[in-house]
Amino acid sequence: MTRIVWPAALVLAVGAALWGWLRPVPEQIPSRLSITDPNLGGAGGFLQRMLAISPDGRTLLYVTNVDGESRIVRRRLEDDSATALSKELTSYSGPMISPDGREFIAASRVGSQMFRFPVEGGDGKPLPREVPWSWVVAWGGDGSLWFTPQSGNLGIARLTPKGEVLRPFGPDVASLSVNQILPGDRYALAVRAPAGTMFGPPSVLDLEKGTTERILDFDVVEMRYAAGLLIYVLNNGSMEAVRFDLRSRRVTGTPVQIARDVSLTGAGTAHFTVADNGTVAYVPESPRSLVLIDRNGNERMATPEGRNYHIPRFSPDGSQLLIDFSTADGRDVWRLDLASGGLSRLTFDRDGHDATWEPGGRRITYSSATRSGGTLTIYRVQPGRNSQVDSLNGSPRIAYTGVWLPDGSAIVTAAADLREGSHGDIAIIRNGGRGPVEPLVASRFEESFPAVSHDGKWVAYSSDETGTTEVYVVPIYGEGEAVAVSIGGGNEPAWGPGDREIVYRAPRGNAVKLVSASLTLGATAKVTARRDLFDVTAMSTTTPHSNYDISPDGRTFAMVRQNPATRIVVIQNLPAIFRGLEGRGGR
């Protein structure tokens, strides 16, 4: 009896097991949930990515403030709270989880190096120094890592599983930002975003040939593929999805809007992340405040309306501010009248940004890549309805508009690769801004944040030549040596009236202070005193230029206050949500 019953029981057990394996897995219920964290983003605003999701869509890594320090924490969606990872993970950002979900990489904000860490916690291992510091990283299915450098013109780098650092394409695709390696490791999603821009044409990059093929007829900030969908974020913060055929690598159907308020950094990063199963997480935009601050740190609103304000610049008479921000109609330059509070739009490129006043204040100069078909170009315009836009200089090496010399003879700006072996450089564009683009300070170190003195004879800038980013000042003409202005770290310099001081942002433990350095200028520059003015930890930063300005009388600072994000939105079963929205007519 036993010999007969056992095989029968085995058959029943195997049959039950097969039925369990082969029956359809119940589809996850479509949902949107919100995870609240009042300290999201960590201590102070910064530009790097702050959010990552595991391939199975069940675990989030994000940056938050723990005991006054910026830390990466882990939050499983079924848990009630987040778990802080290794204490070593202080001042890190840009987490990106591996395809197997076991480890992640992150960028150190101190020392500019990349590390890999276990998701379950533990000590990190540094990546080779040859790997470019970046928060734009994509994992390959074979465990390789693809990096898009944040500066320089060396092109995309690949770290192989054996630890070799390769640059398979050279500078030919230097403006490409690799967003994701597609299944099969032959192709990648990439956005062509030149230095100084935050969005560009979306393409598929052939990882063997180095060729690209555009897949959408409009620009995006970033994009990802999952579960048959291409998910992307536009420069107005809208997130959309459209059907994408992986074999033909082509879009089919009509885009559907998934969200309207994805937070953008202004440096080509959207705070969203996508799991293989179609779960999406993103940080909603918290509108920033444009504020005016006196030298004692007393603050008032320049305008009550919150927006993603960027690079405020006082007019020569101090009565107006130039700013740029994004609306549903794109990103453009606006003028704020400080007395009336009135805003007027000055550019209509849908990509106008980084504006500066020309000497005298009658015209403005700004940057855009839209009119030129993708190359960052410097334009000038006289505000007014029928004014003509004049193209000054377009180059893949310039990184933003720059600052005019007071006589209007040249522009000093940030650039890249102006000399062999240099990366981020300080450039001068003579001939009234028409060029050519020439090196002013160009070394193997990273130079950025140029600021021209009011007499047009000196330029302040930041450099990491000592291993720590510091502020320096050097004569524009002649062979004078650079003089260190800051001690213990500094960036975003700006000149006070009369060229008697340089102010800059400086780290102070877990905070950031605005520091005033008094100086005398003669044959060389000499710093005579330094003093902290007030806390600017919550003020938004940007690169490669300062994100604040000093009024002509030196009494007031225009800054952009980051109102901290407080929640992460998680969209589960996006394919089902997409089908429902698609059935109602897409957008």
Q: 28-286+565-583 with 289-561: one CATH topology? A: yes
Mean pLDDT value across the chain: 86
**Model confidence band, residue 150 (pLDDT cutoffs 50, 70, 90):** low
More confident residue, 374 or 239: 239
Q: What is the DSSP string of 320-361?
A: EEEEEEEETTEEEEEEEETTT--EEE---SSB-EEEEEPTTS
Tell me the pLDDT tens digit for each residue of 84-127: 887 766 777 889 999 999 999 988 766 567 889 999 988 889 88
Tell me the pLDDT tens digit for each residue of 423-468: 789 999 999 999 999 999 999 888 999 999 999 999 999 998 887 8
The answer to whether the bond into 544 is cis (omega within 30° of 0) is: yes
Name the range with the highest mean pLDDT among 36-40, 160-164, 525-529, 562-566.
525-529
Q: Worst-scoring range by mean pLDDT, 156-165, 298-307, 553-562?
A: 156-165
pLDDT of residue 198: 65
Helices (H), 371-478: 430-433
pLDDT at 132 over 70: no
Distances (CA, A) of 37 to 51, 69, 326: 13, 15, 26
**Superfamily of structural domain 289-561:** TolB, C-terminal domain (2.120.10.30)
Tell me the pLDDT tens digit for each residue of 371-429: 777 788 999 999 876 778 999 999 988 989 999 999 999 999 999 888 887 878 999 99
pLDDT at 539 over 70: yes
pLDDT at 18 over 70: no
Q: What is the mean pLDDT of residues 131-156?
A: 77
Side-chain half-sphere exposure of 408, counting CA atoms within 13 A: 11
Query: 432 phi and psi, to 5 degrees?
Result: 65, 30
Kindly report the CATH number that applies to the domain delimited by 28-286+565-583.
2.120.10.30
Question: CA 82 from chain center: how many Å?
Answer: 25
Domain locations in the chain as residue ranges? 28-286+565-583, 289-561
Sequence-separated (6 or more) residues with CB below 8 Å from residue 339: 319
pLDDT of residue 478: 77
pLDDT of residue 441: 94
Contacts of 485-491 spanning 24+ positions with Cβ under 8 A: 485/460, 485/517, 485/519, 485/525, 485/527, 486/515, 486/517, 486/530, 487/530, 490/462, 490/515, 491/448, 491/449, 491/462
pLDDT of residue 92: 79
